[in-house]
Amino acid sequence: TDKAYEDIFKPVMDKIMEIFRPGAIVLQCGADSLTGDRLGCFNLSLKGHAECVKYVKSFHVPTLVLGGGGYTIRNVARCWAYETSVLLDTEIPNEIPYNDYFEYYAPDYNLHLTPEPRENMNTEASLEAVRVELLQQLQELQGAPSVQMQEVPPEFDLKKEDLAEGTNDGGAEDDVREKGNGRTSKGKGDGTRRAHPAEFYDGDKDQ
């Protein structure tokens, strides 16, 4: 749940910042912990996931925010759109505006996700044991570690195979997507969710 995740994340992050005292943070926002993920087993809402981003931001340390895992693509897009708004301190509506990929967000066309009504198999005792163990290990680190560069790698040339113009150079000729304008309705979806080819399927196409 959001609360269980937050109760681990925040105190551990506090200790990490205290021990390592970083001059910058690289935050990878993997989305496979969201509810409904095809591989992840967590059940977080967008707001619970973004609370971690907001908390890291509160340290006021220069931060590079990256994407990461996530195997239900429409929810990954939801997550990163919302967390971009959190980073920019900008409110965005729950209703997804019409766009070329509108049908992927059927049937509700909303930004936020509702966690699945399933039992949390993590007991309070087990979560507390994990938290205590992590804090203890961090406490045993002696000061903020650092690494000094001793040798500068030699220069090298990147040899690139000569290719014909328009071949694997990122031009329009390399676009292998199906042709079409991406719109199947005028302003509204028909309630049918279109499956993305990169996602898993049930049945004969199951990967």
* Per-residue model confidence as pLDDT tens digits over 10-61: 999 999 999 889 999 999 999 999 999 988 889 999 999 999 999 999 999 9
Encode pLDDT of 108-117 as tens digits.
Answer: 999 999 998 8
Whole-angstrom Cα distance, residue 169 to residue 178?
19
Please report where in the chains the tokens 């209703």 appear, as a residue. 95
Please choose, from the candidates 21, 40, 20, the residue with its C-alpha nearest in 3D space to the C-alpha of residue 30: 40
Q: How confident is the model at residue 176 (pLDDT cuts 50, 70, 90)?
A: low
Please report where in the chains the tokens 């195997």 appear, as a residue. 71
Please report where in the chains the tokens 């309705």 appear, as a residue. 185
Contact 70, 79 (CB under 8 A): yes
pLDDT of residue 156 exceeding 60: no
Q: How confident is the model at residue 162 (pLDDT cuts 50, 70, 90)?
A: low
* Residue 32 confidence (pLDDT): 93
Percentage of residues in the chain having pLDDT higher than 70: 69
* Per-position DSSP letters for 102-130, written without gaps between them: GGGGTTT-BSSPPPP-------HHHHHHH
Whole-angstrom Cα distance, residue 185 to residue 188?
6
Q: How confident is the model at residue 146 (pLDDT cuts 50, 70, 90)?
A: low
pLDDT of residue 83 exceeding 90: yes
Report phi then psi at 5, rounded to 5: -65, -45
